[in-house]
Structure 1
Amino acid sequence: MAYQWDFTPVFANSELLAQGLLNTLKVTGASLACGLVLGLGFALMRLSRHRLASWPAGFVIEVFRTTPPLVQLFWFFFALPLIAGIEMTPLLAAIVTFSIQSAAFFAEVFRAGIVSVERGQWDGARAIGMTNGQALRRIVLPQAIKRMIPAFMERAIELMKTTTLVATIAYADLLFAANEIAQKTFRPLETFTVAALIYFVVITAISLLARQLERRLAVSGESTVH
């Protein structure tokens, strides 16, 4: 007998799905914002000539780029409270984990973007009396960030997909909400189909925005850093 699709129970729980999507976007947005700030800091440390700055940053970057995100999430949620006595809620653990993981990615993007700016830009800034910090803030970073925008958008897409892992620590994201609805309504096919469509629509919108930005940068003659 053919399966009888019925989306009515899923639509009846649309508020739960909407809240789950909001929670997903909350983790994604907070992690991206924190990751950008931390990533810039790590990049500057990596570019430093002082080993006491470059080595720790390099270690953190390599650890978070080479270990599975789920292991990182479990470590912050389960292990850190035992080691440091810090209480970690699912939301806090998710933001901390994905912020540092994003920072490890952004650090390499920032570093590549800064290095890609011609050396003459630095020399010109010093010639008019700017310090290295002023040159970085006023001349180098604005050019580098423009080139890095597509890479940032790609990371946003990857991060949103990675946040589905937070359901494993009982954070009420979109996947967690979908699982609850599926168990309550006994309609897993319909529920996860709707959840997949929501992810598809949101991520496709971000992808289209990223492509539009890349086209504009290509027209303006700027190269991109990946």
Structure 2
Amino acid sequence: MEYAESQGTPRSHSRLGMALMVVLALAGAWALVKHFAGASAASAGYDWDFAVLWKYRSLLISGLLYTLLFTVVCVVLGLLVGVVTGLGRLSTNPYITAPLRAYIEVFRCTPVLVQLVWFYYALPVLTGLELSAAAAATLCLTLYGGAFYSEIVRGGIISIESGQTEAGKALGMTRLQLLRRILLPQAFKKMVPPLMSQSIMQLKNTSLLSVLAVPDLLYQGQVIAHDTYRPLELYTFIAIAYFAVLLPITIWAKRMEYGVSKEA
């Protein structure tokens, strides 16, 4: 019992330290906003009024929740696409690898904003399928993230020494058994940092959904700014909201990366 308590103490201190860091970072960001807001008000005569945000709190909260839900869905679906595509890229059959490589390069070498607009406006014309803004955005970000996840999966697997594959084959393992028992468990440790980084990028990419009128946080902010003529307050709040969400995730990702590197 004493051992368990002594082991739990550093972990609780680490969580407390992370929470304190988040609070201090948010307080510092708010202090900077207030400082520059006051300075600009004195020089330009602009009267900052953040109280207007309270009136539209339900829209802002719904936009934030939609952003987070959309991120989770796109990350999960993108990981599924990335795992399947990444494993497919390991094939020696050019009829499998060539289309997969073309898909990956197209999505990695074109801006995601252009992809969003193309999926919403051009894809229905080419296929005859009517897509809602949310469906087009989900499909686009899923395939976009899947292209990057695919290369992460492939790179993690091929980084394992070939001798381990040869040893598994000598023991009579099938290719699937090699992946499940030898390659994937080791490769996953190397995949964790880039997978976390790309997932964080997916959250930031959701800010582009407003171009399709998807009701995410930025779009709701634009609607409110149009009604209140208070764009500076709205965009300042949105920036702080993204920061408040991403900072703990980034810290957690760094801790996970450190833990994985220690185990390796």
Pairwise TM-score range, normalised by the shorter structure:
over 0.9
The amino acid of 1:48's aligned partner reads S
Q: 1:29 aligns with which of 72, 86, 90?
A: 72
Q: 1:83 aligns with which of 108, 112, 126?
A: 126
Which residue of 2 is the match for residue 103 of structure 1?
A: 146
The equivalences for 1:173-212 within 5 A come to: 173-212=216-255
Q: Post-superposition shift, 1:87?
A: 1.4
For 1:40 and 1:168, locate their aligned partners in 2 and report how far apart those are by CA, in whole Å. 29
Q: Tell me the TM-score normalized by structure 2.
A: 0.80
Which residue of 1 is the match for residue 188 of structure 2?
A: 145
Which residue of 2 is the match for residue 124 of structure 1?
A: 167
The answer to whether the Cα contact below 8 Å between 1:42 and 1:107 also exists between their aligned partners in 2 is: yes
For 2:59 and 2:245, locate their aligned partners in 1 and report how far apart those are by CA, in whole Å. 17
Given the alignment of the two structures, is residue 136 of structure 1 paired with residue 179 of structure 2, yes or no? yes
Give the match's secondary structure for 1:47.
coil
For 1:44 and 1:32, locate their aligned partners in 2 and report how far apart those are by CA, in whole Å. 18
The answer to whether the Cα contact below 8 Å between 1:35 and 1:103 also exists between their aligned partners in 2 is: yes
Q: 1:158 aligns with which of 171, 195, 201?
A: 201
Give the match's secondary structure for 2:89.
helix
For 1:113 and 1:122, locate their aligned partners in 2 and report how far apart those are by CA, in whole Å. 14
Q: Post-superposition shift, 1:124?
A: 3.0
Q: CA RMSD in A?
A: 1.3
The equivalences for 1:14-25 within 5 A come to: 14-25=57-68
The answer to whether the Cα contact below 8 Å between 1:46 and 1:53 also exists between their aligned partners in 2 is: yes
Q: Deviations over 1:7-39 (max 9, x none)?
A: 111122111111111111122111111111111
For 2:57 and 2:152, locate their aligned partners in 1 and report how far apart those are by CA, in whole Å. 38
* Range 132-141 or range 48-57, more displaced: 132-141
Identical-residue share of aligned pairs (%): 41
**Consecutive unaligned residues in structure 2, runs of 5 or more:** 1-41
**Consecutive unaligned residues in structure 1, runs of 5 or more:** none
Q: Post-superposition shift, 1:183?
A: 1.2
